[in-house]
Structure 1
């Protein structure tokens, strides 16, 4: 049976997302990130290309590990300046009918009670097309500016995230029963109070006694994305994630990660096939291989080595400025993205990642691999990645915005459709139903579904 490839666009409400320095290219429009028209045009383009979603990254902090300063990131617009991602979604949803939206939001810096209301509001306004990329935040600068002396220890952040998710599930899934909202004009009853329940949460980090402020949305809980592939991150994903975002530099490493994550789902009592996996890629496409290579050479002239090292230092938590260019990256414990350290450390059996190699790699495409060629060549490579790793699809970053996405929609998508490996129309319904074909709501044994039954029962017997 032919497996369809799934595609998300990967972007951020900033200038230099995954290809620092490319904002200087004359065709690039990423510096228009402050203009609503820029995002509306992008959403319409992606829906025309039948993308599953627009995955919007975010960081609440600045990349200041490199040279112990934010200067390089500021000079090169390496994910700074950056605006809030949430406010982009409602206007893009207004001009589209099917495109999903993956919101990156950290559990580290906002209380779950107001955040759950934000999620419900977005799910209402998008008619059930929103997902939440759950992150625990890795930048020290963000922690300091929220009043912490330093970033919380890596594994403790996931313990905190487990309770955060429990509070959100109780609010989104259990507080309001189905049928609580009656809208009965004759009886003058909008909501039946007997069907709305306080969650009475008492935990290590949170005490939330009351009810959810929003009525249930189409999905209740948005589609859950997660990106951590450290040992603790894998356990968290196995328990909670529906879609896992990976950034593996090689097929062998990606296959190992996917196998491990499916094993974690089994340990959590879930069906391992219930998870979808998306790996980060950047594509440079033209009508012919030669033209694509020329396009890449043109892009390389605008790539910023300084910006690439600023990003890579932030992702790994290692100041790469203190090492010589031919120094391989060493596997050390940091409070940043541990999977990035593991993927690019000298223990990688496939490649010795020196500082120079890291700078070249991250100059176009950031953490993810770069594929270059004609539509046929790139389609061949995508199929090889899928067959060799079991990956379900790809989060596609841009080199040039929006040209990279235009090339995918106009050149690659028709080639994938000719091969029968890409959809020719959207499925109806919510984002969750489009992705999994099993309805709008999370179902048992996912831990969220548990609270739809438990909280009403617990309240009734209190």
Structure 2
């Protein structure tokens, strides 16, 4: 018998329309181009690099506020360029889609501050313009500064943010899945009828948070609902992902923590009535590589010399909702800390460090996040990195990696040049793209939401009144 084919490693690139997304201080490196974030040429070049490397997609993070928990102000954030200035991610996608054929785009947008009615139109528009290559990373928000600037005193409590998001997605599904029939647009020039009114339906939604009585403004796009991405790993976030997500991004500093997180997500997906493989799970990770091990390690040492410690602490404080300026560098984060921000970030950093086995100190947190952010860093030749990534997949059941950068686009160019060919030689990476939409590329089961997905219950012909 011939051996079973090796499971493929999958890649997304992790970036943000800002300076120095996950590596505070690295914008100062002479080869980093993140300061070109306001130039379309930066983004179109990056998209072409990633498509050359057969990446599943470019995952574009976003925040609608500044990190001002550290020291009670945004001064450290502004000095370090910690995710500010930051521009809108949606406006990048059309240009990148125009210079690529297959690359997917996962775009972050929150449910807290934009009404789902106009937002559904933006999603459908991008799905049309990309010919079905767009996904939506659903976030509920975690920065108090965003809430204040949107006229609120603070953001909703953590779990209520997910209750609100549940209804938000219900409205999106009703508009994109249940308003227009597939053949509503007839383009009948003889009768002068572009759309058959009998095949366009009001959704009649009346819920706790939203009232949306009318029809969707867009005709059905290739995927109707773009691929749903999600990154919450708290208990409530995991339940939300189990019901909605098709791709889940996680961050864990060790294989042991990652294995436990993935098992918990797949258990929840199964409990929601879906197959355990109905989500693609990507772990955040940074690769520093080169033609040989010595070159890669020299690069990593050089990158670490550019780390902005205060900028890293400002970033972590925002993630955790904890002002780390109040701690001594050698203090550890106690188990009594409560967070209304990213609860999984607090839980992760309260566990033992993967390097020492002891609790994380504030100093260690800053050093860890300094290059590549929340996830681990793999350093070595292309051959060594490929072997290690395969081990991660085999050991943890992760589908692939959401690759953060130390410098951009250099980190991604190195992965494409040195790691991808090694993975391909081992039969652990595709050699060509699957045709079709992003959803079909990820699962090979067509363009539309599968029948087991919660959104499918809102298709045309279903009872579309509010369900709460």
**TM-score normalized with structure 2 length:** 0.96
* Superposed displacement of residue 346, structure 1: 4.2
CA deviation map 1:63-118 (0-9, x unaligned): 11111110111001000000000000000000000000000000111000000000
* Superposed displacement of residue 330, structure 1: 2.0
Distance in 1 between the 2:389 and 2:452 partners?
32
* Superposed displacement of residue 454, structure 1: 4.0
Structure 1 range deviating more: 158-167 or 248-257: 248-257
Which residue of the partner structure matches residue 151 of structure 1? 155
Which residue of the partner structure matches residue 398 of structure 1? 405
* Superposed displacement of residue 325, structure 1: 1.1
Distance in 1 between the 2:311 and 2:185 partners?
51
Aligned residues: CA RMSD: 1.2
Residue 6 (1) aligns with residue 28 (2): no
Residue 64 (1) aligns with residue 71 (2): no
C-alpha contact (below 8 Å) 2:132/2:438 kept by paired residues = yes
Distance in 2 between the 1:90 and 1:21 partners?
30
CA deviation map 1:150-186 (0-9, x unaligned): 1110000000000000000000000001111111111
Helix, strand or coil for the counterpart of 1:406?
Answer: helix
Residue 345 (1) aligns with residue 319 (2): no
Give the number of aligned pairs: 458
Which residue of the partner structure matches residue 439 of structure 2? 432
C-alpha contact (below 8 Å) 2:112/2:140 kept by paired residues = yes
C-alpha contact (below 8 Å) 2:16/2:60 kept by paired residues = yes
Helix, strand or coil for the counterpart of 2:424?
Answer: helix
* Superposed displacement of residue 30, structure 1: 0.7
- Unaligned 5+ segments in structure 1 are none
Of 362, 387, 390, which residue of structure 2 is paired with 1:383?
Answer: 390
Stretches of 4+ aligned residues off by more than 6 angstroms: none
* Superposed displacement of residue 291, structure 1: 1.1
Distance in 2 between the 1:348 and 1:376 partners?
27
* Superposed displacement of residue 300, structure 1: 1.1
Of 144, 157, 173, which residue of structure 2 is paired with 1:169?
Answer: 173
Within-5 A mapping of 1:407-418: 407-418=414-425
* Superposed displacement of residue 329, structure 1: 1.5
Distance in 1 between the 2:241 and 2:389 partners?
24
Distance in 2 between the 1:265 and 1:19 partners?
32
Distance in 1 between the 2:365 and 2:221 partners?
44
Residue 335 (1) aligns with residue 340 (2): yes
* Superposed displacement of residue 451, structure 1: 1.1
C-alpha contact (below 8 Å) 2:178/2:460 kept by paired residues = yes
Residue 451 (1) aligns with residue 458 (2): yes
Helix, strand or coil for the counterpart of 1:156?
Answer: helix
C-alpha contact (below 8 Å) 1:93/1:99 kept by paired residues = yes
Within-5 A mapping of 1:292-371: 292-331=296-335, 332-346=337-351, 350-371=357-378
Within-5 A mapping of 1:232-243: 232-243=236-247
CA deviation map 1:208-233 (0-9, x unaligned): 00000000000000000000000000
Which residue of the partner structure matches residue 109 of structure 1? 113
Of 180, 183, 188, which residue of structure 1 is paired with 2:184?
Answer: 180
* Superposed displacement of residue 352, structure 1: 1.4
C-alpha contact (below 8 Å) 1:329/1:346 kept by paired residues = no
- Unaligned 5+ segments in structure 2 are none
